[in-house]
A and B are shown apart, each in its own frame.
Chain A
Amino acid sequence: MSLLEVKDLKTQFFTRDGVVRAVDGVSFQLDAGETLGIVGESGCGKSVTALSLMRLIPQPPGKITEGSIMFDGQDVLKMDDDDVRGIRGNNIAMIFQDPMTSLNPVLTISRQISEALELHLKMDRSEARRRTVELLELVGIPSAKKRLDDYPHQFSGGMRQRVMIAMALSCNPKLILADEPTTALDVTIQAQVLQILKDLAREFRTAFILITHDLGIVAGMTQRVHVMYAGRIVEKADTGELYANPKMPYTWGLLRSIPRLDEVRKEKLVPIEGLPPDLISPPPGCKFEPRCQYRKEICHEREPDLIPVPNAKPDHEARCWGTQRVPGGGWLVDLDWQSEIGDMAVLEQIKAEVAQVAAEAERATPGDLPPDVSQKEGI
C-alpha cells in the first residue's frame, strides 16, 4: 500500500467574481521514501495541492469540494480538526517558500522547533532543547548550541531555511511537502540546501513532495515528476523518462523556453505565447489548447484524459489528444519535439487571438482614444 494516495482532488475558491477551480481533479500516489516533483507555473495549483494535503486551505473562501486523500490508510478529508492537528507537523511536515515570513519573529529558534517536539512527542523542555540542538546540527548550522536563543532576524536567508528544514524534520515525519524551498535563496546557498534535503531524504527514508517551477531542481532531486497546468496534472512520468522523452506540448514549451548552461547557446529562445487561462472560466477543451502550437479541432471541443502514452514507459501518462491513439487523435505520437517546433501558421493565429482578446476587453471598457489616431494606425 502506498503512503499517500490522492484521488480526484478538487479545491475551489468561492470569490465574488465566481468559482476559481484552483485544483481540478488531481490524482497521484506516493510510496514511502519516494521523492516526487510537482512542476508548474504560478497559479497552476501546485501550492494549493500541497495546502490541501495538510488541510490548510483557508475556509472560506476555499473549500475542498471533492476527492479523497488517503494518508497511511486514513482519509485526511474525513478527519476531525483534532486528528488533523495530530498529523500536521508530526506525520506530514511542510517547508514553506519564504523563510523570511514563515518563522515567528518574536519567538526564539529553540522555542519554535521545540514547540512541535513538546506537543507531538510529549518531550519535556530540557529534552526538547537537547533534540533541537541535534536537529540544528543535522542541517548544518554552525555552533548550534549558542544559537538556540537567537531570533529569526539574526539568521541569514539560507540559515533560516535550514531552521525550517530542522523544524520539518523534528518529529520524523513520513512525508515532507517542500513548497519552492529554495526560490528565495541564492544559487550557492540553494546548492547547499538542496544537498541537505537530498542527504536527509536518503538517510531517514522520508517521502518528499518537491513543488517548484524550476525544471533544473526537479531533475536532480526527484524520482518521478508531475507537470501541472491550470489545476490539472497534464503529464506524469519517471524523472529520467520525462526529460528524455517528454510527450505533452506544454512540457516541451517549458523545456524549450529556458536557456541551458550545458548546451550550445541558442540564437533565440522559444517562449510559450499567451498567458495561462483564467481559472474561473477555463477553456472548454484542453486547458492548454489556446496556447498550443500543435492543436487541432478536437482539442477545442473535448478535454483529453490523463492516460498512458504510446512509445514510452508504461507509467508515462499525458493529457493530450495528440499523444492518444483514438479517432481524431494521435498526431504527436511519432513527432520529434526537438526538431518540429510546431505549425508557424498556428503560432501566428495564437498571437492574433491574444491580441484580439485584449481588444475585446478594451471594447467592453471603452477608453477616450481619439478616433482619428486609431484609424491612422490602421487598427
Chain B
Amino acid sequence: MAVAYEKTRSTAAAGSGKNILEVGGLTMHFPLTQGIIFQRQVGAVRAVDGIDFFVEKGETLGLVGESGCGKSTTGRAILQLYKPTSGSVKFQGTELTTLGGEQMRRMRRQMQMIFQDPYASLNPRMTVGNIIGEPLEVHHLAAGREKTERVQELLKVVGLNPYFTNRYPHEFSGGQRQRIGVARALAVEPQFIVADEPISALDVSIQAQIINLLEELQQKFQLTYLFIAHDLSVVRHISDRVAVMYLGKIVELADRVELYERPLHPYTQALLSAVPIPDPQVELKRKRIILTGDVPSPVNPPTGCRFHTRCWKAQQICSEVDPEFIEHSPRHWAACHFPG
C-alpha cells in the first residue's frame, strides 16, 4: 500500500524539467480548539488532505470544486500564506515549506495572487498608484519617478487609463477593480500567478473581458497560472489541464479535452452534467445526474472514498478503502474504485 502510494505520488507530482511547481502530499489542517484559558485541540478542519500535482511552465492548471472543497486553501498554502501542516511545495526546485521569512519574501516576487473579490481585496484608503506601487517598493524594484512610470505602464497593460493613478478604488466598477488587482500582481514581474476565482464576482459581459485579459497577459509575459474557479465552462475555456477537488482531495486530474470528454470520476461526471447550458433544445434532451445531499463536513470526512456518501456507484469497498490516485491513461489521474 505504502509502496503503491509512493509510486503514484512520484508520477502525479513527477519531477520533469518543465515543471515550475511540484506539490507533494500537501496537507492543511486548521485546528479546532476548546477551552478559554487552556486551549485544547479537539479536532481539525481537514481543508486539504494530501494532494499531489505539478504545474508545467507556461500552462494554466484549472482547479475546480464546490465551496469548501479546499481549492482556495490549496492556492494559499502553495504561496505559504498558510503554513502547510505537512507535505512539500517545490517552486522551480526550491522547497518553500522550509524557507524562512526573508527568503520567502524574496520568492514571492516570482509568485503572486489575484483575489476573488475586487471589492474587498483593494485597500479603500490607498490610491491606485499606491496599491500597484506597493509591491515595487517592498521588493526594492523601483522608487520615485521610476515607480510612477512603471505604475502607469502597468495600468496601460491591463487596459486602464494611466491617468488613474491618483484615484481611489471606490471610483471604479468591479471589472476595472479586478484589472487593478491584476496590475498589482503583475507589478513584480512574477512567473506564476494563483488566480483565486478572479471573475466570479463580475457580471457576465465583464467576465469575458477579464478572461481575455488574463490570456493576453499569459502570452505576453509567459505566465503560468493556477486558475481556481467553480465554473466548469470558464475553466474549460482557460485551462490546459484541469484538477477536480472534492472535500480536501484531488479526485481527478487530466488534460482539458480528456477530462471534459472522458471524465472517469463519478463526481466529475456529476459536476459536468449539472452545468446549465444556454440552449433550450439541449437542456430538454440532457440527462442530469443529480447528486443527493450536501458535501459532508471536512471536520469529520467519510471513511474510505470521501465521495461514497453521495455516489450512485458506491459499493462496500468504497466506504472502507480510500481509492488511490492512479494514472489510468497517460496524464489522466483519478481516485476511484470504479472509474469510467
Residues of A with Cβ closer than 8 Å to B? 41-42, 142, 156, 158-159, 186-192, 194-195, 213-220, 239-240, 243-244, 253-262, 265-266, 268-273, 275, 355, 358-359, 362, 367-370, 373-374, 376-377, 379
Contact = CB atoms under 8 A, between A and B. Distances in A.
Contact of B279 (A259, A262, A355): A262
A220 B283 contact: yes
Contacts of A188: 66, 270-271, 274, 290-291
A111 to B, nearest CB: 23
Contacts of A355: 161
B277 A262 contact: yes
Nearest 4 Cβ contacts at the A-B interface: A216-B276, A367-B166, A271-B208, A220-B283
B234 A259 contact: yes
A355 B161 CA distance: 7
A258 B212 CA distance: 12
Given A257-B207, A261-B277, A186 B260 contact: no
A259 B164 contact: no
Contact of A269 (B149, B211, B276, B284): B211
Given A158-B294, A259-B236, A259-B237, A186 B66 contact: yes
Q: Which of B162, B270, B284 has the most CB of A within 10 A?
A: B162
Interface stretch (B102-110, B198-206, B318-326): B198-206
Contact of B280 (A190, A194, A239, A368): A239
Interface in B260-284: 260, 270-284
Given A187-B230, A191-B274, A265-B237, A271 B206 contact: yes
Contact of B290 (A195, A219, A368): A195
Q: Which of B167, B203, B207, B230 has the most CB of A within 10 A?
A: B203
B215 A268 contact: yes
B230 A258 contact: no
Given A195-B290, A373-B148, A373-B149, A259 B278 contact: no
A191 B283 CA distance: 12
B275 A261 contact: yes
B204 A219 contact: no
Contacts of B276: 190, 194, 214, 216-217, 219-220
B260 A261 contact: yes
Contact of B175 (A218, A275, A359): A275
Interface residues of B, number: 57
Given A189-B294, A191-B274, A219-B277, A259 B233 contact: yes
Contacts of B161: 355, 358-359, 362
Nearest to B156: A377
Contacts of A358: 160-161, 163-164
A269 B212 contact: yes
Nearest to B205: A272
Secondary structure type dominating chain B contacts:
helix
Interface string B149-179: 1001000100011111111000001010000
Given A259-B236, A260-B233, A261-B233, A367 B163 contact: yes
B315 interface: no
Given A192-B290, A195-B290, A367 B209 contact: no
Contact of B277 (A195, A216, A370): A216
Contacts of A190: 274, 276
A256 B209 CA distance: 12
B220 interface: no
A261 to B, nearest CB: 5
B142 to A, nearest CB: 13
B152 A377 contact: yes
Contact of B205 (A159, A257, A261): A257
Contact of A261 (B207, B208, B236): B236
Contacts of A359: 161, 163
Contacts of B207: 257-258, 271
B294 A261 contact: no
14 contacts: A159-B294, A188-B271, A188-B290, A190-B274, A240-B280, A243-B281, A258-B204, A265-B236, A268-B215, A270-B208, A272-B208, A275-B173, A374-B162, A376-B149
A217 B277 CA distance: 7
Given A41-B203, A217-B276, A260-B279, 9 more contacts: A187-B66, A187-B271, A188-B270, A189-B294, A257-B208, A261-B232, A265-B237, A272-B208, A367-B165
A209 to B, nearest CB: 17
A190 B291 CA distance: 10
A194 B233 CA distance: 19
B140 interface: no
B211 A258 contact: no
B67 interface: yes
A368 B129 CA distance: 11
Contact of A271 (B212, B234, B288): B212
Contacts of B212: 268-269, 271
B313 interface: no
A190 B276 CA distance: 10
Interface string B209-244: 101100100000000000000101110110000000
B125 interface: no
Nearest to A275: B173
Nearest to B127: A367
Contact of B148 (A219, A244, A272, A370): A370
Nearest to B283: A220
